[in-house]
Structure 1
Amino acid sequence: MPRLIRPNLPSTVEAAIGFLGSRAQADVLRQLAILGPSTVGQLQAVLEIGRPSLNRHLEALSRAGLIETDPPRGLRQGRDVTYEVQPGTLRHLLRAYVDYVEGR
């Protein structure tokens, strides 16, 4: 049986692989880019995804720095949270991935 290869990748490349390998996360990013800053309810209205799954994907994208929240995590206290794409981070991670794959 073939062994699973886990190369030691730069963290930026790992982050890029994380969202590139997820159709749902790519769709969440795309909808945020189209809609602009949005709440979970607004995203759920256009995405065919359950709230728990959407929250998981938003958390993963937030950890990768691909989206930001307003208000920030520590200041929420029951208020609606707005999510927004961070295009600079997205470009940075994609560039790191391309550079890695091309051997740079």
Structure 2
Amino acid sequence: MEAVLHALADASRRTMLEALADGPATAGELAALLPIARPGVSRHLRVLREAGLVEARSEAQRRIYELRPDALAEVDDWLARCRRTWEQRLDALHTEVARGARERRSRS
């Protein structure tokens, strides 16, 4: 999960992932989305591949990149646990606020 979070921390890599969510793309197509040189795009793609977020296949002289959404499953599970914790705490806070409001109304 560490590698995935590291990969997601960069705005350029997130832009690439968002583009790949719409379907496969070549390195050139992804590079066109970013204001960085091609070597930088290649480095970002390597980080995404090593994190398991994308896979590449060769097609003639081109490399086609595809999103691997299953790599995000571990992060999604972790976030779901965080959401459940915060939802429970926010529900408890809501209950206490409502209880306090009822008590103030009953005293008035």
TM above 0.5: yes
Structure-1 separation of matches of 2:27 and 2:16: 10
Aligned-partner residue type, residue 17 of structure 1? L
Map 1:80-95; keep pairs closer than 5 Å.
80-90=62-72, 92-95=73-76
Q: TM-score, normalised by structure 2?
A: 0.65
CA displacement at 1:53 relative to structure 2: 0.9
SS at match of 1:69: strand
Residue 98 (structure 1) aligned with residue 82 (structure 2): no
The equivalent residue for 1:63 is 50
CA displacement at 1:56 relative to structure 2: 0.6
The equivalent residue for 1:22 is 10
Structure-2 separation of matches of 1:55 and 1:67: 13
Q: Which has the higher strand share?
A: 2
Q: TM-score, normalised by structure 1?
A: 0.67
Query: Which is bigger in relative contact order (C-alpha 8 A, separation at least 6)?
Result: 1
The equivalent residue for 2:104 is none
Flag the structure with larger Rg: 2
CA displacement at 1:20 relative to structure 2: 2.7
Residue 37 (structure 1) aligned with residue 18 (structure 2): no
Q: Which has the higher helix share?
A: 2
Structure 1 ranges of 4+ moved more than 3 A:
99-102
Structure-1 separation of matches of 2:78 and 2:37: 30
